Amino acid sequence: MSASAIFVLDLKGKVLICRNYKGDVDMAEIDHFIPLLMQQEEEGMICPVITRGTVHFMWIKHSNLYLVATTNKNSNASLVYSFLYKLVEVFTEYFKELEEESIQDNFVVVYELLDELMDFGFPQTTDSKILQEYITQEGTKLEVTKTKVPTTVTNAVSWRSEGIKYKKNEVFIDVIESINVLVNANGSVMSSDIVGSIKLKTMLSGMPELRLGLNDRVLFSLTGRDKGKTVMMEDVKFHQCVRLSRFDSDRTISFIPPDGESELMSYRINTHVKPLIWIESVIEKFSHSRVEIMVKAKGQFKKQSVANNVEIRVPVPSDADSPKFKTSTGSAKYVPEKDLVLWTIKSFPGGKEFLMRAHFGLPSVEKDELEGKPPITVKFEIPYFTVSGIQVRYMKIIEKSGYQALPWVRYITQSGDYQLRTNA
């Protein structure tokens, strides 16, 4: 069905750990992996699946490791990749960092995990929260729960164990939106969309029943209310705890939350958004002498909001030298290894406009190769604000014991893939 064996290799291709699940592929085949990969690298066309004879290697790279799944069957490709990424996720949860050293130091646990995550080439329970209940790093812990079956595996509510207790019952809700924008050289927005997620940090006792209210347009039109701003969400995805049937019938989001941190839902909104930080740039290149760059950044959001840690990256020719900067605010820095100017503004209030001028010298000898025109990219973070206007209207928390619990909501807007193409 999916993988025959899973390998974790170091950068040189030495097998750090492996687990053979089906035994239908010779374990020695892995020795061919790195040479084949090298060959592809030389040819400049790296492909996530490498084939040698009847054996296929599907691989991903994570820090200084290769995770490789071998198969000789027609497996479901995206399943294998997702599983490999899931492996990374689980290992990271266990060892904080997944790298060569952490594998070396935790052979036994890694092997046990590999054993548990997949059976006969088929993925099993991969929720690291559940796994952590019965595959522990210290054997002593197990003694305590010796006679208890991990209920979460067989429970109806598999994502939350019973008997959780907190002194103070609180829920923290983070609404995080990242905005992807692509702007053409002539200043028109080519594509823009918002990818949002609602994250929870639950610190609640018992088995609470939560209900989340959003200003969802479909919900408002269902109930006939249309006051205030509503949001039309596309491609909504929920954590498994959310009752989808309720959402289907009356758009209420009700669930028993997992303990601790989790992502409750994610959504995508495909609308025309005004780029929050607008960049106008003039890059004048005088061959053989100099480049002059003028960048104007404008905050196109509410005056009350402030964008933090704004980073504007302006590309410069790779052979530029002797940088000189002038900025109306923040500081500019030349990053020669990436061929760009990095203009950082710690806080950027809405409606304001800032200016940066840069001057570079160019060598008198011009190089033959024509350079491309990389876009200007922008990074920022605007707290207490969402581009889409999504709002948490309420969060109802009901538990048998009837305790009072406090929901805390935080909004934040970030830049995702925010690119503005340049003319120069």
Q: Which of residues 107-136 bind another protein (CB under 8 A)?
A: 107-108, 110-112, 115, 119-120, 122-126, 134
Nearest distance in Å: CB 88, another protein:
10
Nearest distance in Å: CB 213, another protein:
17
Name the residue nearer to another protein (CB basis): 99 or 170: 99
Q: Site mask, another protein, residues 27-46, x = CB under 8 A?
A: x----------------xxx
Name the residue nearer to another protein (CB basis): 107 or 384: 107
* DSSP, res 242: B
Backbone φ, ψ for residue 78 (5° rounding):
-70, -30
Q: Identify whether the C-beta of residue 58 lies closer than 8 Å to the C-beta of residue 76.
A: no
Q: How far apart are alpha carbons 297 and 217 in whole angstroms? A: 33
Contacts to another protein from residues 189-208, by CB under 8 A = 190-191, 193, 195
The total number of residues written for the chain in this structure: 424
Contacts to another protein from residues 142-181, by CB under 8 A = 142-143, 146-147, 149-150, 153-154, 156-157, 180
Q: Identify whether the C-beta of residue 48 lies closer than 8 Å to the C-beta of residue 40.
A: no
**Distances, alpha carbon 134 to alpha carbons 1, 40, 371, 387, 402, in Å:** 27, 41, 56, 42, 31
Cα 239 to the center of its chain, rounded Å: 16
Nearest distance in Å: CB 23, another protein:
8
**Distances, alpha carbon 216 to alpha carbons 59, 176, 222, in Å:** 40, 16, 10
Q: How far apart are alpha carbons 225 and 172 in whole angstroms? A: 28
Q: How far apart are alpha carbons 296 and 65 in whole angstroms? A: 42
Q: How far apart are alpha carbons 109 and 138 in whole angstroms? A: 9
Q: Site mask, another protein, residues 374-403, x = CB under 8 A?
A: xx-x--------------------------
> Which stretch in 56-64, 284-292, 295-303, 319-327 sits in contact with another protein by CB under 8 A?
56-64
Nearest distance in Å: CB 147, another protein:
7
In terms of Cα–Cα distance, which of 256, 257, 179, 267 is closest to 216? 267
Structure tokens, 29: 């085949």
SS3 at position 274: coil
Nearest distance in Å: CB 331, another protein:
25
> Which stretch in 167-175, 186-194, 276-284, 326-334 sits in contact with another protein by CB under 8 A?
186-194
> Which stretch in 53-61, 91-99, 341-349, 385-393 sits in contact with another protein by CB under 8 A?
53-61
Name the residue nearer to another protein (CB basis): 201 or 243: 243
In this structure, which amino acid lies at residue 104? Answer: Q
Among residues 10, 60, 359, 392, which is the contact residue for another protein, using CB under 8 A?
Answer: 60
* DSSP, res 159: T
In this structure, which amino acid lies at residue 245? Answer: S
Strands 376-383 and 406-420: antiparallel
Among residues 18, 164, 203, 355, which is the contact residue for another protein, using CB under 8 A?
Answer: 18
Among residues 42, 226, 337, 369, which is the contact residue for another protein, using CB under 8 A?
Answer: 369
Cβ-proximal residues to 224 (8 Å cutoff; 6+ apart), any chain: none
Q: Site mask, another protein, residues 212-251, x = CB under 8 A?
A: ------x--xxxx---------xxxxxxxxxxxxxxxx-x
Nearest distance in Å: CB 30, another protein:
9
Nearest distance in Å: CB 84, another protein:
8
Contacts to another protein from residues 64-83, by CB under 8 A = 71-83
Contacts to another protein from residues 300-319, by CB under 8 A = none
Nearest distance in Å: CB 302, another protein:
26
Name the residue nearer to another protein (CB basis): 63 or 240: 240
Residue found under tokens 């995770």: 67
Q: Site mask, another protein, residues 327-366, x = CB under 8 A?
A: ----------------------------------------
Nearest distance in Å: CB 95, another protein:
12
In terms of Cα–Cα distance, which of 310, 317, 354, 353 is closest to 334? 317
**Distances, alpha carbon 385 to alpha carbons 252, 271, 285, 309, 344, in Å:** 23, 17, 39, 15, 21
